[in-house]
Amino acid sequence: MALLDIRNLTVKIKTSEGILTIVDKVSLTINPGKILALAGASGSGKSLVMQAIMMLRRDNVIYSADRFKLDDKDLLKLSSHQRRKIIGENISFIMQEPKRSLDPSLKIKTQIYEVMPKIKWYRFFTRIKNLIKNTKRQTAIALLHRSGIKDHSRILNSYPSQLSDVECQKVMIAMAVASEPKILLLDEPIVNLEIASRFQVLKLLDKYSKNDETSIIIISNDIASIYNFADEFAFMYAGQIVERGTREQIFKNPRHPYTASLIRSMMEMNNPDNAKKFIPVLTGKHPDYKHMPIGCRFGARCRYAKRRCNNMPEITMGKNSQYRCHFPLPDGALYSDD
Ligand code: SF4
């Protein structure tokens, strides 16, 4: 049974020019301890999907979904207050740019103490011994150690501006896991980090996923870095998931031309000699949400487009993937020039 099961999530934004549908019928599931990567160009709606999962309140945003189940609880049948409570207890969200997410006016120790969970009565007796031993400071140190920070004294007594980007990211992760969430959402956690630091952060997240069975949904455009990290990938384009599947399936035989173009870019980056062999990287622009095409949203940039693509393709369920394309690429197309 999926830990999180969302069907047909739609996010609309009220603008001065009318209501725009930015996220269009996105369906997502994730199982305990699994890592799902949400990839795609900037502006494709990935961050809004995360915000919708958290049901973050914004006056100009309208969320709707046909199904929203968390740990088999149907959140759509609950009041918005109950819904937010369950989400808050089970999901932690780390937004982009950790340095800006931390309060610059407070030392790290104050910020970590604030997110430590309150003790529930039924945990009281089992935790009382630990509580005697573990002061808040000791718990904070343990959290930092688990997040790969050894010099905890310096970190705890620093302000965010005194820390490096990777230290801030590790602090954010320590704070996010303090409440033992079942699901961790991360929006571009490795952007702006050096290669070695990216690896450290991903390794840390992988450890939490494996040891604590924490499910992770990560947004990243850096598919070369997260390739070995995620179990599943979902690619978004213009507010829709155009392909989703296991890492093995997607990177071996992508079905959607957009997915294939991103994977080719990654292959070219890893080995510039490959650049000669593969079809040119994507050209053209992402469509404007004010003037979305009626048919396939990728149509204007797709080298395989045909007349039928003027009709919106439905999602097709494959063996280890699902895709939204009338003319899916055959096996081996990634390495062919046809
Ligand atoms: S439906 Fe047509 S235009 Fe869209 S991605 Fe597939 S082939 Fe290209």
Domain limits of the chain? 243-338
Ligand 1 mean position to 24 CA, how many Å?
Answer: 17
pLDDT for position 42: 87
What residues pair up with 187 in beta bridges, in sequence order?
219
pLDDT for position 113: 86
Q: How far apart are CA 110 and CA 160, in angstroms?
A: 11
Q: Is the CB of 242 under 6 A from ligand 1?
A: no
Tell me which residue of 221, 305, 231, 302 sits closest to 262, measured CA to CA. Answer: 221
53-99: per-residue pLDDT in tens? Answer: 998 877 899 999 999 999 989 998 998 889 989 999 999 998 887 77
Question: CB of 186 within 8 A of CB of 219?
Answer: yes
Confidence of residue 100 (pLDDT cuts 50, 70, 90): confident
Q: How far apart are CA 15 and CA 308, in angstroms?
A: 32
Token representation of residue 221: 């455009």
pLDDT for position 108: 92
* End-to-end CA separation in angstroms for the chain: 41
Tell me which residue of 214, 230, 130, 154 sits closest to 178, measured CA to CA. Answer: 214
Give rounded-to-5 percent helix, strand, coil for the chain. Answer: 40, 20, 35
The answer for residues whose C-beta is within 8 angstroms of residue 128's C-beta and 6 or more apart is none
What residues pair up with 245 in beta bridges, in sequence order?
233, 321
Rounded to two decimals, what is the model's pTM? 0.88
* Residues listed for the chain: 338
Rg of the chain in Å (alpha carbons): 21
Q: How far apart are CA 167 and CA 148, in angstroms?
A: 9
139-186: per-residue pLDDT in tens? Answer: 889 889 888 888 999 999 999 999 998 899 899 999 998 888 999 999
Of 259, 298, 307, best ligand 1 pocket probe by most atoms within 8 Å of the beta carbon: 298
Q: For residues 277 and 162, which has the higher predicted lDDT (pLDDT)?
A: 162
176-199: per-residue pLDDT in tens? Answer: 988 889 999 999 988 878 888 888
Q: How far apart are CA 325 and CA 255, in angstroms?
A: 8
Question: CB of 159 within 8 A of CB of 109?
Answer: no
pLDDT for position 92: 93
Of 256, 325, 338, best ligand 1 pocket probe by most atoms within 8 Å of the beta carbon: 325
Of 237, 308, 310, 326, best ligand 1 pocket probe by most atoms within 8 Å of the beta carbon: 326
| Strand, coil or helix: 188 | coil
Q: How far apart are CA 38 and CA 218, in angstroms?
A: 6
The answer for residues whose C-beta is within 8 angstroms of residue 160's C-beta and 6 or more apart is 99, 102, 103, 104, 108, 168, 171
What residues pair up with 70 in beta bridges, in sequence order?
4, 73
Q: How far apart are CA 69 and CA 185, in angstroms?
A: 16
- By CB atoms closer than 10 A (0-12, 13-18, 19+), residue 195 is exposed
pLDDT for position 214: 94
The kind and range of the H/E element at 12 are strand 4-15
Q: Is the CB of 309 under 6 A from ligand 1?
A: yes
Confidence of residue 33 (pLDDT cuts 50, 70, 90): very high
Q: How far apart are CA 333 and CA 255, in angstroms?
A: 9
Ligand 1 mean position to 47 CA, how many Å?
Answer: 24
Average pLDDT over residues 99-125: 76
